[in-house]
């Protein structure tokens, strides 16, 4: 009886913690949908792309491990999926898992990937998630798509970070906010590759933004989001044109230690996506993860199974929440 009351109290405490007065996420006229992320956000980006390739037409993976790298193992996540120079992820296992999920309807048909696009980046000074790990994304996606549709950048002496041409730490750093100034507009390069049908305008370095970066209520997309390490509040950037015109949607996923709970809106405001969005009519959605002392102390998106066993398919709790956010923006 005591245990039952304890669970009831704990439930209502969780509901209270997740309460927010942020605005309701709006709906807009949306064209294409793409996704990208850094580190754990990169892992979630490839999971979202593989799971929902009917909706999402391309992904950008920045310093992130390949699909199903950890295989549900925290030990795997922190060894051969990150820093081990001698062991690399088993791509054959990931391909087998993806094929199995597709056969079971747990991810969209993998043939969708054939003509889609992927951008992969690893800095040569990144010793957090080493290049031998990140490069395995090529092997995975090459099994399903035309290799000419995969763009890679491994030549920049960058640390473990999202890269800009106007903001952040020294290029080789792997610390601080994990945003580095390498005189390279990664957001522009990534989005241009994912949108070959368009010729995007490149913003001037450090250009001011003219749209609106706002907080939105994430709690309506997951019951008690903190229990699955999602924040109660996310960010969305809306250019002025997108209030009345059709715009493409891009989901930008932060890495560990980059969420709102840790750095506020630094990632959402300073990664360069918003400047590209202003000139080229993109809505940028910034879902937010939050730390959990026991299962996810660094506030990472789930790519090893701390939230549930389905973390890498359509039934994964975080993937379902983010897909619901996408559907809301699209007006579904």
Contact of 62 with 162, CB cutoff 8 Å: yes
Q: Is 250 a catalytic residue?
A: no
- Residues sharing a CB contact under 8 Å with residue 40, sequence separation 6 or more, in sequence order: 64, 253, 255, 256, 289, 300, 301, 303
Contact of 97 with 68, CB cutoff 8 Å: yes
- Residue 242 exposure: Cα atoms within 13 Å on the Cβ side: 29
Q: Is 18 a catalytic residue?
A: no
User: Angle CA(309)–CA(39)–CA(114) in degrees, nearest 5?
Assistant: 75
3-state secondary structure of 261: helix
The active-site residue, picked from 36, 39, 226, 291, is 39
Displacement of CA 319 from its chain's centroid (Å): 10
Instruction: Please report where in the chains the tokens 């799971």 appear, as a residue.
Output: 51
- Give Dmax (Cα) for the chain: 64
Q: Could you give the CA distance from residue 279 to residue 47 in angstroms, rounded to a whole number?
A: 29
Q: Could you give the CA distance from residue 310 to residue 321 in angstroms, rounded to a whole number?
A: 13
Q: Is 126 a catalytic residue?
A: yes
Closest CA to 18 of 215, 217, 221, 224: 224
Name the β-bridge partners of 285.
236, 251
Total residue count of the chain as it appears in this document: 332
The active-site residue, picked from 126, 217, 231, 302, is 126
The active-site residue, picked from 57, 108, 122, 160, is 160
Q: Could you give the CA distance from residue 96 to residue 131 in angstroms, rounded to a whole number?
A: 23
Residue 3 phi, psi (nearest 5): -65, -40
Closest CA to 49 of 29, 67, 64: 67
Contact of 161 with 127, CB cutoff 8 Å: no
Contact of 226 with 20, CB cutoff 8 Å: no
Active centre residues (catalytic): 39, 126, 160
């Amino acid at each position: 009886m005591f245990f039952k009351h304890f669970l009831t109290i704990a439930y209502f405490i969780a509901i209270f913690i997740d309460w927010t007065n942020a605005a309701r996420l709006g709906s807009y006229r949306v064209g294409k949908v793409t996704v990208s992320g850094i580190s754990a956000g990169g892992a979630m980006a490839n999971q979202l792309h593989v799971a929902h390739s009917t909706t999402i037409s391309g992904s950008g993976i920045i310093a992130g491990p390949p699909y199903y790298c950890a295989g549900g193992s925290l030990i795997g996540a922190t060894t051969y999926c990150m820093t081990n120079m001698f062991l690399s992820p088993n791509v054959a296992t990931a391909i087998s898992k993806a094929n199995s999920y597709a056969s079971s309807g747990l991810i969209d048909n993998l043939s969708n990937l054939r003509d889609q696009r992927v951008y992969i980046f690893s800095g040569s000074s990144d010793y957090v998630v080493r290049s031998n790990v990140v490069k395995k994304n090529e092997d995975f996606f090459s099994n399903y798509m035309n290799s000419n549709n995969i763009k890679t950048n491994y030549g920049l002496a960058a640390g473990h970070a999202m890269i800009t041409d106007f903001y952040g730490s020294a290029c080789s750093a792997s610390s601080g906010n994990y945003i580095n100034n390498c005189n390279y507009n990664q957001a522009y390069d990534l989005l241009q590759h994912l949108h070959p049908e368009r010729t995007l305008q490149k913003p001037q370095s450090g250009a001011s933004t003219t749209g609106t970066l706002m907080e939105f209520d994430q709690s309506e997309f997951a019951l008690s989001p903190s229990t699955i390490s999602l924040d109660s509040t996310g960010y969305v950037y809306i250019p002025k044109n997108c209030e009345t015109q059709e715009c493409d949607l891009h989901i930008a996923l932060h890495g560990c230690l980059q969420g709102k709970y840790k750095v506020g809106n630094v990632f959402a405001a300073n990664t360069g996506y918003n400047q590209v969005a202003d000139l080229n009519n993109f809505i940028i959605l910034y879902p937010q993860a939050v730390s959990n002392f026991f299962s996810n102390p660094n506030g990472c998106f789930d790519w090893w199974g701390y939230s549930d066993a389905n973390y890498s398919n359509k039934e994964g709790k975080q993937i379902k929440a983010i897909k619901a956010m996408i559907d809301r923006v699209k007006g579904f």
